[in-house]
Amino acid sequence: PLVLGIETSCDETGVGIVRGTELLANVIASSMEEHARYGGVVPEVAARAHLEALAPTLQRALDDAGVSLQDLDAIAVTSGPGLAGALMVGVGAAKALALSLDKPLYAVNHLVGHVGADLLTGDDIEYPTVALLVSGGHTSLLLVRDLISDVELLGETIDDAAGEAFDKVARLLSLPYPGGPEIDRAAVGGDPTAIRFPRGLSLPKDMAQHRYDFSFSGLKTAVARWVEREQDAGAPVPVADVAASFREAVVDVLIAKALAACADLGVPRLLLGGGVVANARLRAVAEERCAAAGVELRIPPLSLCTDNGAMIAAIGSQLVAAGRAPSGLEFGADSTLPVTVVQAP
């Protein structure tokens, strides 16, 4: 099926078009620059930017794919989770399109979309698979038995998301927003073993209770304390070492817990998704340790790891192919839609 996907959950206005699992267009307009001076996404600014960007982004996607709106079999839209005001722009636009074109409309879960991005590589996802979702707002470990009907939440962060930790630590080091790529750059040449920062929820007593959960706020505080101590002592802060050591702590705990889930559940497959997967060290460590553990690793192309409309279209296309009933026009933006709800009714 030919499906249009609309994504406006955060600061990226994304419109993608797929035919089955074939990617025809993936256009993204970001309001990141506008948020940079605030050090994080400002919801009102994001919502307004979506309003301005949506129509031209849609037009470019149609041009790229060489299709018209009438050709579409269905429309899919992110209905949650995300920023309520931002989500509402996409949901409203998708409803208007579906109604005026008389096309079925599917309300798709953004987080499942991040996993579904991997479908667009053209290879089928083998089930069951463990999926690690790491983004600016989420850090979740999932057991996916079937992408559109059986997604189980194994664990998640109990405080900050991994991407959020990158953004906050970057700010501590006076690096600009978004922090992920900045830390990656700053860590080049740094020694990842220079400072032993804490691995959240990894002590035996924590593993008993929070085996698949994550915590990054203690790590952030540890970095802040360490930097303060150096500054108080009048020493120059070794930014490369701090960045490399911090990044190592995040990556170490992410991959360790993901592989623990693979081992516990006897699932020799791990899929990574979300914007933090752009991290160079995360990819390297994942490859190394998965190979050692005999776990097959899948990472979608980087352009599909950060927020985009194509991943939403990909899920929509799966729903259509499975004969699922459309979502109707009653659903609204749901900022806390749980990952287990793949399609909002």
CA 234 vs CA 190, 229, 230, 241, 272: distances in Å: 20, 9, 6, 17, 41
At its nearest, how many Å lie between Mg ion and the CB of residue 81? 13
CA 6 vs CA 140, 254, 314, 320: distances in Å: 23, 29, 11, 16
CA distance linking residue 185 with residue 188, whole number of Å: 6
Is 82 a binding residue for ligand ATP by CB under 6 A? The answer is yes
- Which one of the spans 17-25, 138-146, 237-245, 300-308 is the region binding Mg ion (CB under 5 A)? 300-308
User: Residue for token digits 């360790």?
Assistant: 256
184 makes contact, choosing from Mg ion, Fe ion, ligand ATP, none, with CB < 5 to 8 Å by partner type, with ligand ATP
Q: What is the contact surface with Fe ion in residues (CB under 5 A)?
A: 135, 307
Is 276 a binding residue for ligand ATP by CB under 6 A? The answer is yes
Is 279 a binding residue for ligand ATP by CB under 6 A? The answer is yes
Answer whether 245's CB lies under 8 Å from 197's CB: yes
258 contact partners, CB below 8 Å, separation of at least 6? 130, 132, 141, 270, 286
Chain positions 207 to 266 lying near ligand ATP, rule: CB under 6 A, are none
Determine which residue in the list 213, 241, 252, 307 makes contact with Mg ion, applying CB under 5 A: 307
At its nearest, how many Å lie between ligand ATP and the CB of residue 110? 6
DSSP output for 83-99: -HHHHHHHHHHHHHHHH
The answer on whether 279 is annotated among ligand-binding residues is yes
Is 178 a binding residue for ligand ATP by CB under 6 A? The answer is yes
Q: Which residues bind ligand ATP (CB under 6 A)?
A: 9-10, 82, 110, 135-138, 163, 166-167, 178-181, 184, 274-276, 278-279, 306-307
Could you tell me which residues are annotated as the binding site for substrate? 133-137, 167, 180, 184, 279
